[in-house]
Chain A
Amino acid sequence: MGKLLQNKKAIFLFMAPAVLFFAVIVVAPVFLSGYYSLLEWDGMGEKIFVGFDNYARLFTDSGDKFLLALKNSLMIAVFSLLIQLPMGMLFAIILSNGVRGERFFITIFFIPVIISTVAIGQLWGKIYHPDYGLLNTLLRNVGFDRLTRAWLGDKETVLAAVITPIIWQYIGYYMLLFYSSIKSVSADLFDAAKIDGASRIQTAFRITIPLIKPMIKTCLIFSLVGSFKTYDMVCVLTDGGPAHASEVPTTLMVWTIFKRNQYGYGSAMAVIIVLICFSLYLLVQKFFKADNE
C-alpha cells in the first residue's frame, strides 16, 4: 500500500473520477456564476460585458432590496445564535443528565427536523391564518383582540413570523448533535466532578461545554451558513412578500434570475452569498483557533 501511495500516477488515476465529478458538478458552476455575474444577460439573448457594475448595483440600488435581504438574513443568523443553539444545548444537557423518558423526548424534539419544510411551512401558515389560525384564536380567547392581525400579511410582523418556525425547526437537530457529543465524553469525568462537589451548572459550564467545543464549532458553522442560505421556509410561507419585507438573498436571487430574466445580476447575488458563507466559515475557524491558543 505504501508503495502504491508513492506512485503519483496511481494516486492521480484513483482520484481522477471523483475529482472530475466534483469539478463538473461543484467547481465549474461556481466559476460560471462568477463569469455570468459580470454580464448583462437575460439568459437567452446577447451577453453584454459590464464588469463589476452588477456588484455596484447590489449595494447602491435600494429599489432592488438586496441590502434589505442581507439584513433579514442577518436577523435570522442572530436569532439562531441567541435562541436556536442555546436552546439545543440546554435540552441536550438536561436530557443527558438522565431524565426519565430520555429517548422519548429526544424523538419528540427531533420530529420537526424529519418533517419536510414544506409541510412545516403549511402548518405554520395555518397557525398564522387571520381568521381561523391558532395564534389569533388564542389571542381572541384570552381577550387580546387588539393584538390579532394577519401575521404573514403585515410588513411589521412578517419577518418575526417567518424566523420563528426556522428557529424552531432545527432546535432538535442541534440538540441531537450536542447530546451525542456529550454522551461520548467519558463518564469518569462527570463522576469525578460529582465527587468534588460540583453543582450541575458548574459541571455544565466547566466540563461539558469545554469538552464538546469541536461540536459547538461545527454547529456554529451550520447555523450561521444555514441562516444565509435559507430558502425553503421563506419560499413556502411568503415567497419574500409582502412587498419584499421577508426577502432573503436566495429568494431575491431566484426571483431576479427566473422572474425578471436578469441572469447576470442574479448571478452576482449568488456569488455574494457564496462569499459570505465562506467568510463566515473562516471567521468561525479563526475564532476557535485563537481561543485554543
Chain B
Amino acid sequence: MKKKSRRMTAVMLAAILGVSSLTACSTKNEQEGNDNSEASDGKVTLTVWSLYGTNPEDKSAAAFQEAIKEIMDEDSSVEIKLDYAENEAYKTKIKAAVAANEAPDIYGTWGGGFTQPFVEADKVLQIDDYLTDEINSKLLPGVLDYYIYDGNVYGLPTKMSTCHLFVNKKIMDEHELKLPNTFDELVEVCKTLREAGITPISLGSKDRWAIGKVFDMMGVRACGIEEATKILSGKDSFNNPDFLYAAENFNQLAEVGAFTENAVALNNDEALADFTLGKAAMFYNGSWSCGFINSDTSQVKGDVVAIPFPEMKDGKGTVNEFVGGASDGFVINKDTKYPDKAFEVLQKISYKMSLKSYQNSLDMPVWDLGDEVDESKIDPLFAMIVEDASQSTGYMEWWDTFFEGSAAQDYLYALIDLSMGEVTPEEFCETMNGIVQ
C-alpha cells in the first residue's frame, strides 16, 4: 500500500511537471506570435520595426523616435512597440520574419525589388482604398511609384533620397585643385590626391550597397535613365557600348586608386568617419550623410560642399538625372488585426518622417509640407542637394532594390570584383548579362 501510494505520487508529480512545462511553452508562444493584443483599457497595440534605433548621433533615428512619440501623444488609444536593427542586419531580420509569418504590424522596407517578394507572397496589405483624394492631393507626384505592384499601392514612402559627391573644399584648396565638373577632371583630381598620399574618395564596400551607389550613378551618367532601365530589366544587353563605357570608367577610377585602399574591409560608417576626420577628400553617399558631416563632432564641419556626380564626356545621361527617389518607406502586414488603425499610423509616420527629415536637413519630403518648415534652419550643405534635386529631370531606383534578392547580390559582388581588378570591364558586362537572364 505504502509502495503503491509512493508510486502514485511520483507519477502525479511527473504529470504535473510535464503539464506545467507544456503550458509554460504555450503561453510563451502566444506572447511571441501574437504581437497585437488589445489590452483591457481598449488600447490598440501595434508593433513597428524599422532601421531607426536610439543612437543620438543618427538624426534620422532621432526623428523617427520623436515621430512615434508624437503619434502616441496625439492618439491615446494607440500604443506603439518598437524594434530595430542596423541596415544589413535589419534586411535579414525582416525577411526571416515575413517568411515565418511573424512580421510586425508595420515595418520599414524599400520599394521596388526588395518588397516585391513580400507582395508576391501576399503578405502585404494593399492600401488603395485608404488613399482618399485628400491624401493623394497632399502626396508629391510620383512618390508612390516604387510601391506600386500590378497597379496597386502597397506602402507609403517616408522620404526622397539621392546621392551626392561630398567634397572637402579645404583639402582641395590645399592641393590647388578645383571642383571636378567632368568625369575626366574627377580622375585627374583623384590621381593628384593619391600621389599626395590622401585618400581621394572614402568608400566602405564591406557594406556592399555603398559601392553599388557609386556604380548606379555612373551607369546612369553613361546610359541615361531610359536606356539604363531597359538594360537592367533585361530588354537590352549589358554589352551595350554605353554600359561598357560606365564599367570602363569605373575601372579607371579603381585603377588610379580613387577609392580607400582597403575599402572591402571597411563598412560605410567607418568610411564616413574617415571623411569627417578629414582623412579623405571626397565621399559619395546619400543626402542623409549631411547630418553627420555637419555635426558638432565632425572635424570638417563647414568645409564641405555637395556636388552632383560629374558628367561623362561620351555619356548619354545629363547632370540632372539622379539615382534614388522615394524608396525608403513602410508597409502594413496583411495579417494585422487592426488594418484601419495601422493605416492611420502608417500615414502619420510617413508624413512626420517627411517633415522631420526635411526640417533636420536629412532627406527630401514626399508630402506637400505647406508652410510647416522653417527654411532658415535648413543646413547649407543639405540646401545644395535640395537645390540640385529641384532641377532633376528624373530619378532611377537604386539598382540593388531594382533587382530582386539574388540578382542584387550578384550585381554587388560582380562590382567588387571589378573594383579589385579581378575582372575586366568586358567580363563584368558579360557577368551582368548572366545575372539578369
Partner-B contacts on A (CB < 8 A): 3-4, 7, 9-10, 13-14, 16-17, 20-21, 42-45, 125, 128-131, 150-155, 237-239, 241-244, 254-255, 258-263
Question: CB-CB < 8 A to B279: which residues of A?
Answer: 131
Determine if A262 and B406 form an interchain contact, defined as CB atoms under 8 angstroms apart. Answer: yes
What separation, in Å, do the CA atoms of A235 and B80 have in the docked complex?
33
Q: Do residues B15 and A130 form an inter-chain contact, with CB atoms below 8 A?
A: no
Complex interface residues of chain B between 157 and 208 (CB less than 8 A to chain A)? 205-206
Taking CB atoms, residues of chain A closer than 8 Å to B206 are 238-239, 241
A43-B95, A44-B98, A44-B121 known; A242+B264 contact, CB < 8 A: yes
Could you give 20 example pairs across A and B, Cβ below 8 Å? A7-B10, A10-B7, A14-B17, A42-B405, A43-B99, A43-B117, A44-B98, A44-B120, A45-B117, A45-B120, A45-B121, A125-B265, A150-B262, A152-B265, A238-B265, A243-B417, A258-B96, A260-B409, A261-B95, A261-B405
Are B409 and A155 in touch, CB under 8 angstroms? no
Which residues on the A side are within 8 Å of B17 (C-beta)? 13-14, 17
Q: Contacts of B323 on A, CB cut-off 8 Å?
A: none
Is A128 a contact partner of B265 (Cβ separation < 8 A)? yes
Does residue B131 face the partner (Cβ distance < 8 Å to A)? no
Contact with A along B111-131 (1 / 0, CB 8 A): 000000110110100000000
C-alpha gap A263/B21 in the complex (Å): 32
Chain A CB within 10 Å, residue with most, of B15, B205, B265, B420: B265
- The residue in chain A whose Cβ has the minimal distance to the Cβ of B263 is A153
Interface centre among A9, A45, A263 (most CB of B within 10 A): A45
Instruction: Report the minimum CB–CB distance from A246 to chain B (whole Å).
Output: 10
B35 within 8 A of A: no
A244 to B416 alpha-carbon distance, docked (Å): 10
Chain B hits for A42, CB < 8 A: 117, 405
**Chain A residues within an 8 Å CB radius of B410:** 260
Q: How far is the CB of A274 from chain B (nearest CB, A)?
A: 20
Q: A20-B22, A153-B263, A260-B409 are in contact. List 7 more A-B contacts (CB 8 A).
A: A17-B21, A153-B261, A238-B206, A261-B95, A261-B405, A262-B405, A262-B406
Taking the complex as formed, is B11 at the interface, i.e. its CB lies under 8 A from any CB of chain A?
yes
In the bound assembly, the distance between CA atoms of A264 and B241 in angstroms comes to: 37
**Chain B: which residue is nearest A241 at the CB level?**
B264
Shortest Cβ distance from residue A59 to the other chain B in the assembled complex, whole angstroms: 19
A242 to B418, CA, bound (A): 11
Q: How far is the CA of A13 from the CA of B11 in the complex (A)?
A: 7
Residue of A nearest to B267 (CB): A239
A262 cross-chain contacts in B, Cβ below 8 A: 405-406
- Whether, in the assembled complex, B234 has its beta carbon less than 8 Å from a beta carbon of chain A, the answer is no
Q: Once bound together, how far apart are the Cα atoms of A121 and B262, in whole Å? A: 16
B405/A259 in contact, CB under 8 A? yes
Residues of A within 8 A of B404 (CB): 261
Structural contact, A16 and B18, CB atoms closer than 8 A:
yes
Q: A44-B118, A242-B264 are in contact. Are A259 and B409 (CB under 8 A)?
A: yes
Is B72 part of the binding interface, using a Cβ–Cβ cutoff of 8 Å? no
- Asked if B11 and A9 make an inter-chain contact with CB atoms under 8 angstroms apart, the answer reads yes
**Assembled-state Cα–Cα distance A20/B20 (Å):** 13
Assess whether B338 is interfacial by the CB under 8 Å rule. Answer: no
Chain B minimum-CB-distance residue to A261: B405
Residue among A42, A150, A154, A243 facing the most chain B CB atoms (10 A cut-off): A243
Bound Cα distance from A127 to B18, whole angstroms: 53
Residues of A within 8 A of B263 (CB): 153
Closest residue of B by beta carbon distance from A42: B117
When distances are taken between beta carbons in the complex, the residues of chain B under 8 Å from A14 are 14, 17
Min distance, Cβ B192 to any Cβ of chain A, angstroms? 19
B413 touches A260 (CB 8 A): no
Residues of chain A within 8 A of B120, CB atoms compared: 44-45
Flag whether B422 is at the interface (Cβ < 8 A).
yes
**B152 contacts A by Cβ under 8 Å:** no
> Shortest Cβ distance from A57 into chain B, in angstroms?
13
Q: Which one of B3, B123, B206, B417 has the greatest number of beta carbons of chain A within 10 Å? A: B206
Interface contact B420-A242, CB-CB below 8 Å: yes
Complex CA–CA separation, A262 to B265 (angstroms):
25
Q: By the criterion CB–CB under 8 Å, are B265 and A241 in contact?
A: yes
Q: Which residue of A lies closest to B207 (CB)?
A: A239
CA distance A196 to B21 in the complex (A): 60
What's the Cα separation between A92 and B416 when bound, in Å? 44
Neighbouring A residues of B420 by C-beta, 8 Å:
153, 155, 242-243
In the complex, whether B91 has a CB less than 8 A from a CB of chain A is: yes
Report the Cα distance A152→B204, complex, angstroms: 13
The answer to whether residues A21 and B21 also contact, given A44-B117, A153-B264, A238-B264 and a CB cut-off of 8 A, is: yes
Please give the distance in Å from A16's CB to the nearest CB on chain B.
5
Give Cα A243–Cα B279 distance, bound, in whole angstroms: 26
B7 touches A7 (CB 8 A): yes
Which residue in chain A gives the minimum CB-CB distance to B3? A3
Contact partners of A150 in chain B: CB under 8 A: 261-262, 265
Residues of A within 8 A of B25 (CB): 21
Q: Which of B99, B205, B262, B409 contacts A130 (CB 8 A)?
A: B262
Check B416 against A241 for contact (C-beta < 8 Å): yes
Task: Report B77-95 residues with CB < 8 Å from chain A CB.
Answer: 91-92, 95
The 4 closest A-B pairs by CB, nearest first: A150-B262, A153-B262, A261-B405, A152-B265
Complex-state Cα separation, A244 to B414, whole angstroms: 11
